[in-house]
Amino acid sequence: MEDEVLKSGVASGRVQKMTALIVDDNRVNQTIHHRLLQNLGIENQVVGNGKEAIDVHCSGKNFDLILMDLDMPVMNGIEATRKLRAMGIQSTIAGVSSRSLTDNIQEFIEAGLDDFQEKPLTIAKLVSILRKVQNHNN
């Protein structure tokens, strides 16, 4: 039900249109996360690793939300999050990984995450993340 409230809020303009960046090397996850965000009226872009996330920000783009995977080739989520924070990026960064909180993801959180959700991402988990984005923006 919460996702319906959010959707209607975005559609009516009461909720500012959000933008998001999906950072994940797995094609299945990219497709699902893209659809999850699209379904909630959130414009989003997909990149395949941490370095591409940095490059997209260096090109001048900015996002309200970054869904950051942990284990990726070229540059992983920890390094990408650290670099983005060092660049002054203040977007809400939500770590999304199939590793659980018990799998020692402390380093990931300390790199600068605002939230962490264990995969698979569901509508309910995404709505929870989006609430943090709204609070952050307010």
Partner 1 sequence: MEVGQMQRQWVDYTKSLFLEGFLDGQFLQLQQLQDESNPDFVVEVVYLFFEDSEKLLNDLTRALHSMLFWLATFECFMKVCCFWGFRFLCIFFPPSYRDQPSVDFKKVDAHVHQFKGSSSSIGASRVRNACIAFRNFCEEQNIEGCLGCLQQVKQEYYLVKNKLETLFRLEQQIVAAGGSIPMTELSF
Binding site for partner 1 (CB under 8 A): 26-29, 31-32, 35-36, 39, 71, 98, 119-123
Between residues 21 and 37, which has the closer beta carbon with respect to partner 1?
37
* Alpha-carbon span 100 to 134, nearest angstrom: 25
**Closest distance of CB 97 from partner 1, Å:** 9
Between residues 26 and 45, which has the closer beta carbon with respect to partner 1?
26
**Closest distance of CB 136 from partner 1, Å:** 25
112 close to 134: Cβ distance less than 8 angstroms: no
Cβ contacts of residue 12 below 8 Å, gap of 6+?
Answer: none
**Closest distance of CB 24 from partner 1, Å:** 9
Cβ contacts of residue 108 below 8 Å, gap of 6+?
Answer: 70, 77, 78, 81, 95, 97, 116
- Amino acid, single-letter form, for residue 22: I
Between residues 42 and 121, which has the closer beta carbon with respect to partner 1?
121
70 close to 99: Cβ distance less than 8 angstroms: yes
Q: Which two tokens stand for residue 52?
A: 């591409």
**Closest distance of CB 33 from partner 1, Å:** 9
Between residues 39 and 90, which has the closer beta carbon with respect to partner 1?
39
